[in-house]
Amino acid sequence: MIRTLVIDDDFRVADVHAQYVAKVEGFQVVDVARSLAEAREAISRHGPDLLLLDLYLPDGSGLDLLREVRGAGDTTLQVIVVTAARDVEHVRAALAGGAAHYIVKPFRLADLRPRLESVRDLHGHLARMSEPDQADIDRAYGMLRRSAPTSLPKGISRPTLQLVAEALGRHPGGVTATDLEAELDISRATAQRYLTFLAEAGRAELTPRYRDQGRPVHVYRGR
C-alpha cells in the first residue's frame, strides 16, 4: 500500500481528496494535515510514501515543505501538488522541487486517478529493479509522463466555472440553477452542470429544499 498524507487547509476539501485517494487501489490515507506544522509532524510520525500537497497553507507555502523534503535527502517520498495556483512561477517551482504531478483545483477523481496510478506503478517498478538497464530506466521515467486527462471534463470551461464559483460566493445563503440562469444569463441546464461539478469537487454543498408539493429544489452553497 502507498501510504498517503493529504495536506489542505480546508478540512472539507481535504476530506473529499482523502475519499478520492481511498477509492484508488493500492493507496491508504494515513492522516490529514491542515498546516505546514501539522504536515511536518505527520511526516515524522507516519513516514508516508506520498504527499497530496496544497500550496496555500495558513503558516506558509507547500513549496517550502517540498523543498524541505528534498533538502533532507528523501528520494523515496513522492509529491502530487494540488492547488488553485495556475501561475508559471508556482509550476516552475513545483517542477524544480521534484513534484510528480501538479493538479489545479477543482478536480474530480477521474482527474486524480491516473496520476495516482502512475505513482503506484512507478513505486512498484522501482521496488523490483536491482541493476536496471537503459530500458528499465526509460520505463521508469515514462511512467510519470504518460498522458492524463485535463483537469476539467468535457462541457466545463474555466471562465464559466469561475463565474459560477464567484456567484456562489456572492450568495452565502445558497443559489439554485434557476437563480444562476437569470443572474449569469446562461441556461438552467448549464448552471446545473456547473453546480453539480463544484459539488462533486468539494467546492459547493448541496442541500435539498423541500416544498409543499413536487420535487425538492436543489440549493447550492459555496464552501
What CATH number is given to the structural domain containing 179?
1.10.10.10
Q: Give 77-122 pLDDT, tens digit per residue.
A: 999 999 988 889 999 999 999 899 999 998 888 889 889 988 988 8
Average pLDDT, the chain: 88
- Residue 42: pLDDT band (50, 70, 90) is very high
Q: Angle, nearest 10°, between helix axes 62-71 and 36-46?
A: 30
Q: Give 44-55 pLDDT, tens digit per residue.
A: 999 999 999 999
Provide the sign of the torsion angle of the four alpha carbons 41, 84, 148, 133, taken in this order: negative
Question: To 5 degrees, how large is the angle CA 104–CA 107–CA 108?
Answer: 155
151 belongs to a structural domain: no
| Interacting residues of 187 by C-beta distance below 8 A, sequence separation 6+ | 181
Q: How many domains does the chain have?
A: 2
Residues 132 and 165 placed together within one structural domain of the fold: no
pLDDT(147) > 50: no
Residues 28 and 110 placed together within one structural domain of the fold: yes
Q: Angle, nearest 10°, between helix axes 88-96 and 62-71?
A: 20
pLDDT (0 to 100) of residue 207: 86
Mean pLDDT for 161-177 is 91
Residue that is written with C-alpha cell 504527499 in the block: 51
Residues 192 and 169 placed together within one structural domain of the fold: yes
C-alpha cell at 94: 513545483
- Which range among 87-96, 122-131, 143-152, 212-221 shows the weakest confidence by mean pLDDT? 143-152
User: pTM for the full model?
Assistant: 0.65
138 belongs to a structural domain: yes
pLDDT (0 to 100) of residue 213: 66
Residues 16 and 126 placed together within one structural domain of the fold: yes
C-alpha cell at 81: 501538488
CA atoms within 13 A on the CB side of 32: 15
Residues 118 and 182 placed together within one structural domain of the fold: no
| 176 in Cβ contact with 220 (< 8 Å) | yes
| 62 in Cβ contact with 7 (< 8 Å) | yes
Report the C-alpha gap between 150 and 107 in whole angstroms. Answer: 9
Provide the sign of the torsion angle of the four alpha carbons 14, 16, 22, 24, taken in this order: negative
The residue among 109, 143, 177 that closes a domain is 143
C-alpha cell at 195: 453546480
| 132 in Cβ contact with 140 (< 8 Å) | yes
Provide the domain limits for residue 200: 158-222
CA dist 48 → 7, 66, 127, 199 (Å): 12, 14, 16, 29
149 belongs to a structural domain: no
CA dist 164 → 138, 193, 194, 204 (Å): 43, 10, 7, 11
Residues 136 and 82 placed together within one structural domain of the fold: yes
Residues 176 and 107 placed together within one structural domain of the fold: no
Nearest residue to 48 (alpha-carbon basis) of 111, 105, 2, 101? 2
